[in-house]
């Protein structure tokens, strides 16, 4: 398979979310044009994105909503359960641990880790806070697929290195810092400061460039 651009994968997520939405409302078929309008792109882009994975529509008719949903879920790897651990039980970790959206989408949060003895052992949204010292052991023993990192910038890289060494292959980081991982590990970073700076840049330079 050809390398798929991250932007394409992001759009697949958007398409799926719409398909599920209109599917729940009873729609049986849809078109690349519908998906484009709702997803803020063009119909050619939609068809090109899908074409990387196969041919899911019927010319003249469009796409079957349940079928395309199902294919996209397959492509995105959502037809199975994924074990997730949350590393860091601060404000963000806490909010994430209590976030119901995880379970709904097949992500099982099966461990929250922190180093604060005052937190270890506490129950948090159905999950017990565990000792971060056991992180490597648990990555192996519990076979976590995804680690969600919610720790201060200073601790982030060290923890990532530990997790990578223990075999984790996918990390979602909320730490406000740049992290590096080996090529066989996938890292996505959500950095509030960076997003806000994108906005202030636009507010500051608006008009100058468009």
Partner DNA sequence: GCTAGCTTGTGAATTAAATCACAAGTTAGA
Partner DNA sequence: TCTAACTTGTGATTTAATTCACAAGCTAGC
- Which positions lie near DNA, rule CB under 7 A? 3, 5-8, 31-33, 41-45, 47-48, 50-51, 55-63
Structure-block tokens of residue 72: 């996209």
Q: How far is the CB of 178 from a copy of itself (least distance, A)?
A: 6
Side-chain half-sphere CA neighbours of 168 within 13 A: 30
Indicate whether 2 belongs to the interface with a copy of itself (CB under 8 A).
Answer: yes
Contact residue for a copy of itself among 146, 149, 160, 163 (CB under 8 A)? 146
> For residue 81, which phi and psi values (nearest 5 degrees)?
-95, 145
Number of Cβ within 10 Å of residue 105's Cβ equals: 11
CA 200 distance to own-chain centroid: 25
Within positions 86 to 105, which residues make up the interface with a copy of itself, using CB under 8 A?
91-92, 94-96, 98-99, 101, 105
Indicate whether 51 belongs to the interface with a copy of itself (CB under 8 A).
Answer: no
Residue with smaller CB distance to DNA, 31 or 70: 31
Instruction: Choose the contact partner of 25 out of a copy of itself, DNA, none; CB within 5 to 8 A by kind.
Output: none
Structure-block tokens of residue 199: 């906005």
Instruction: Choose the contact partner of 43 out of DNA, a copy of itself, none; CB within 5 to 8 A by kind.
Output: DNA
What is residue 176's DSSP assignment? S
Please choose, out of 43-51, 128-136, 158-166, 168-176, the segment that lies near a copy of itself by the rule CB under 8 A: 168-176
Indicate whether 42 belongs to the interface with a copy of itself (CB under 8 A).
Answer: no
Please choose, out of 62-70, 109-117, 129-137, 176-184, the segment that lies near a copy of itself by the rule CB under 8 A: 176-184
Q: What is the CA radius of gyration of the chain?
A: 20
**Alpha helices per DSSP H over the chain:** 6-24, 32-39, 43-51, 65-75, 91-97, 101-104, 135-141, 153-166, 192-205
């Amino acid at each position: 398979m050809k390398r798929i651009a991250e932007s394409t994968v992001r759009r697949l997520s958007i398409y799926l979310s719409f398909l599920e939405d209109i599917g729940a409302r009873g729609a049986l078929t849809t078109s690349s044009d519908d998906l484009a309008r709702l997803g803020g792109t063009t119909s050619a882009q939609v068809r090109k994105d899908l074409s990387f994975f196969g041919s899911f529509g019927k010319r003249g008719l469009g796409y079957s909503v349940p079928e395309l949903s199902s294919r996209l879920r397959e492509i995105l790897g959502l037809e199975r359960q994924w074990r997730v651990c949350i590393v860091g039980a601060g404000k963000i970790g806490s909010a994430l641990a209590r976030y119901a959206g995880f379970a709904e989408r097949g992500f099982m949060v099966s461990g929250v880790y922190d180093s604060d003895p005052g937190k270890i052992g506490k129950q948090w949204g159905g999950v017990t806070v565990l000792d971060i010292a056991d992180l490597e052991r648990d990555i192996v023993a519990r076979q976590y697929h995804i680690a969600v990192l919610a720790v201060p910038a200073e601790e982030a890289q060290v923890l990532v290195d530990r997790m990578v060494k223990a075999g984790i292959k996918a990390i979602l980081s909320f730490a406000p810092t740049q992290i590096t991982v080996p090529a066989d590990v996938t890292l996505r970073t959500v950095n509030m400061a960076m997003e806000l700076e994108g906005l202030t840049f636009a507010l500051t330079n608006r008009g100058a460039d468009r």
